[in-house]
Amino acid sequence: MSHGIIVRNGIRHIVDEHGHDDGDVDDSEDYDGAPPPPATHPHIGLERTLKAAILVRLSQLGCFAWNNPTGVATPLGQKHAVRYGNPGAPDVLALVRGGRLLAVECKSARGRQRPEQRAWQARCEAMGAVYVLARSVSDVEIALRDILHLASR
């Protein structure tokens, strides 16, 4: 699947070959450590804020959690775009006590999974990982509580 970058309201968005934007933002130019620009599209801000809150909460609960970015970016000084990550991969990955993998896709209330995200969900679940389509931090807390409950049996 071909992806590209478009600019809306000064923010670079990653889109598929049909121009659909799922809320992923190309913030590859933030090399100076500065925070990304404020989101002007409601889905971007909500999903970015949700992902940050989920990462914090998972860490507070003793999980080894990390951001799992995917997208397309043009490195500084280069002419050609480079793909990073695996298209459709979940936004957050976490190892839970007992060795279980928790995969979290963050979506706003109206956000929808792309086909490659649904394929990732199916692969994760087939391998025994827990996949959460999270619209709130509590969605992840509920899944984590279920994982830990099963592990204690």
Query: Residue 100 is encoded by which pair of tokens?
Result: 């279980």
Mean pLDDT of the chain: 80
Which residue range is the domain that position 139 belongs to? 3-151
Distance CA(96)–CA(134), nearest Å, equals 17
Which pairing describes strands 100-106 and 130-134: parallel, antiparallel, or unpaired? parallel
Which pairing describes strands 11-16 and 3-8: parallel, antiparallel, or unpaired? antiparallel
CATH number of the CATH domain containing 95: 3.40.1350.10
Distances in whole angstroms, Cα of residue 112 to Cα of each of 9, 22, 47, 97, 133: 22, 8, 12, 30, 9
Question: Which residues does the chain have with pLDDT short of 70?
Answer: 1-44, 150-153
Distance CA(119)–CA(122), nearest Å, equals 5
Q: What's the pLDDT at 22?
A: 56
Q: Around Cβ 76, how many Cβ atoms within 10 Å?
A: 8
Query: Residue 134 is encoded by which pair of tokens?
Result: 């999270």
Q: What's the pLDDT at 148?
A: 85
Q: What's the pLDDT at 39?
A: 47
Q: Is residue 151 a contact partner of residue 97, using CB atoms and an 8 Å limit?
A: yes
The number of distinct structural domains making up the chain is 1
Q: Is residue 104 a contact partner of residue 140, using CB atoms and an 8 Å limit?
A: yes
For 106-141, what is each residue's pLDDT tens digit? 999 889 999 999 999 999 999 999 999 999 999 999
Q: What's the pLDDT at 21?
A: 55
Q: What's the pLDDT at 36?
A: 46
